[in-house]
Amino acid sequence: MDKTILITGGAGFIGSHVVRQFIYFYPDYLVVNVDKLTYAGNLENLRDVEHRPNYRFERVDIVDPVAVRKLFEKYKVDGVVHLAAESHVDRSISSPMEFIYTNIIGTVNLLNACKEAWKDTLDDKLFYHISTDEVYGTAEGDSFFTESTAYDPRSPYSASKASSDHLVRAYHNTFKLPVVISNCSNNYGPNQFPEKLIPLVIHNIKNMREIPVYGKGENIRDWLYVIDHARAIDQIFHMGVIGETYNIGGCNEWKNIDVVKLLCTILDEKLDRKPGTSAKLITYVKDRAGHDLRYAIDASKLQNELGWETSVDFEKGLKRTVDWYLDNEAWVNNITSGEYEKYYERQYKNR
C-alpha cells in the first residue's frame, strides 16, 4: 500500500461516505476507519465495502490518549482525515460535556499522536480537520461566510468545533504540523441518523407522526448532498494547500419550513397519499435555545482554486434521499428501536 490514511468517525454519516470515496478511488491506500461506535456510529453503513482488501476497522475512543497512541504504533500513519465528533446541536444543549471531551480533547489527542509519529519527517504527511460553518455564528442580512469571517460560535457544539479548529491551527503555527481545515454547511443524504431535520422528517411522515418544526420554521440552512462533501474532502486532501482553510457549501439556502413542505410533497407522491396529507402533520414547537437564524457559505475559494463544484441539485438529492430511507427499512428500524425512542421522548415531550 502507498499510504495509510486514518479516517476518524468513519462509521458515522459523512465519515462512511468519505471511507467509501477513499476505498474506491485509492485502492493503493490502506484506509483505517477509527470509530468508537457511539449511538451515531453504525458499521451497517459500510457493509458494502468492509470486505475490501484496503479497509480496516479499529474501535477506538479518541478521548483515550493511550488507545490513540497504540493505534499510531500499530499503523505507520501518513494522513488523518478527522471527522469523529459529537455532531448534534440539540444534544450539545442537553449534555454539553461529551462535546468537550470528544470534539476538543479527542482532537488534541490525535494532534499529539501525529506530532510524535511525524517527528522525524513531515514530508507527505497531513492532518485534515473536518469542521462546520456553525463556527461563524449566524450570517447577518445577505452576507456570506468566507474563510476570513470572524468566529462567533453560539452553541456548545459549535463552540467545541471552533475550539478544535483553533487547536489545529495552533499546532500548525507552533509545531509546523501540516494541517488543512474545511468548514462545511448542512449535509443531507443516505445514512444520516434520524435526529437531524431531513431524516427525522422523512421518518415521521412515513409513520404519520407529527413533524416538529422549531419556532416559526424561518431559520435558513445551506444544504449540500453528502457525496458532494465527500468529493470536496477528497480534493482538499489531495490538492489543498497546507495551513489553509476551505469553506464548502451548496449555495442552496432554504427556510426549514420550505424543506419540510417539499418533503411532504415528495412523500405524498412516493407513498401514494392524497396531496396535502403529510403537510397536516406539520407542528410548530418551542424553538431551539440560541437557535442560529441563517448559515450561508461562500465556497468560491474551493471552486476557484481547486475546481470543486456540486453535482447533485437539491430536489434530485432529496428524492434520492427519500428513496434510500424508504428502501432501507431495516437500517432505519435498527436505529429507531430502543434508545432512539427514549431520546425522542426527552427531546420533544415538552415542546
- Name the minimum Å distance from CB 87 to ligand DAU: 4
Cα separations (Å) of 112 from 59, 127, 140, 146? 19, 11, 37, 29
CA atoms within 13 A on the CB side of 39: 17
Contacting ligand DAU within 181-200 (CB under 6 A): 185-186, 196-197, 200
CA dist 133 and 341 (Å) reads: 29
Site for ligand NAD in 244-273 (CB under 6 A): none
**Residues between 102 and 141 with contacts to ligand NAD, criterion CB under 6 A:** 102, 106, 130, 132
The verdict on 36 binding ligand NAD (CB under 6 A) reads: yes
Per CB under 6 A, the segment of 109-117, 126-134, 228-236, 269-277 that binds ligand DAU is 126-134
Candidates 35-43, 63-71, 130-138, 337-345: pick the segment binding ligand DAU (CB under 6 A): 130-138
**CB 229 within 8 Å of CB 299:** no
Q: Which of residues 256-285 bind ligand DAU (CB under 6 A)?
A: 256
Size of the site for ligand DAU (CB under 6 A): 19
**CB under 6 A: which stretch of 79-87, 265-273, 288-296, 327-335 binds ligand NAD?**
79-87
Q: Which of 35, 78, 253, 292 binds ligand NAD (CB under 6 A)?
A: 35
Residue 325 near ligand DAU by CB under 6 A: no
Minimum CB separation of residue 224 from ligand NAD in Å reads: 8
Would you say 154 or 221 has its CB closer to ligand DAU? 221
**Which residue is it, cell 503555527?**
173
- In angstroms, the CA 114 to CA 323 distance is 41
**Distance separating alpha carbons of residues 16 and 44, to the nearest angstrom:** 10
Note whether 14 binds ligand NAD by CB under 6 A. yes
- Which of 21, 219, 235, 310 binds ligand DAU (CB under 6 A)? It is 219
**In this structure, what are the phi and psi dihedrals at residue 165, rounded to the nearest 5 degrees?**
-60, -45
The residues annotated with a catalytic role in the active site are: 133-134, 157
Q: Which three cell numbers stand for residue 31?
A: 484506509
Task: Report the alpha-carbon distance of residue 12 to residue 268 in Å, rounded.
Answer: 29
Apex 334 CA angle, 275 and 314, nearest 5: 45
Does residue 98 sit in helix, strand or coil?
A: helix
Enter the DSSP assignment of 182.
E
Residue 297 binds ligand NAD, judged by CB under 6 A: no
Partner whose binding site includes residue 303, from ligand NAD, ligand DAU, none (CB under 5 to 8 Å by kind): none
Task: Out of 4, 5, 7, 15, point to the residue binding ligand NAD (CB under 6 A).
Answer: 15
41 contacts which partner out of ligand DAU, ligand NAD, none, CB within 5 to 8 A by kind? ligand NAD
**Closest by CA position to 317, among listed 235, 207, 236, 229:** 229
Nearer to ligand NAD, 86 or 278 (CB): 86
DSSP 281-349: GEEEEPPPTT---B--B--HHHHHHH-----S-HHHHHHHHHHHHHH-HHHHHHHHTTHHHHHHHHHHT
Per residue in 91-121, is it b (16+ CB within 10 Å) or e — as a string?
bbbeebebbbebbbbbbbbbbbbbbebbeee
Interface with ligand NAD by CB under 6 A: which residues? 9, 11-15, 35-38, 40-41, 61-63, 83-87, 102, 106, 130, 132, 161, 184, 186-187, 193
Binding site for ligand DAU (CB under 6 A): 87-89, 132-134, 185-186, 196-197, 200, 212-214, 219, 221, 256, 288, 295
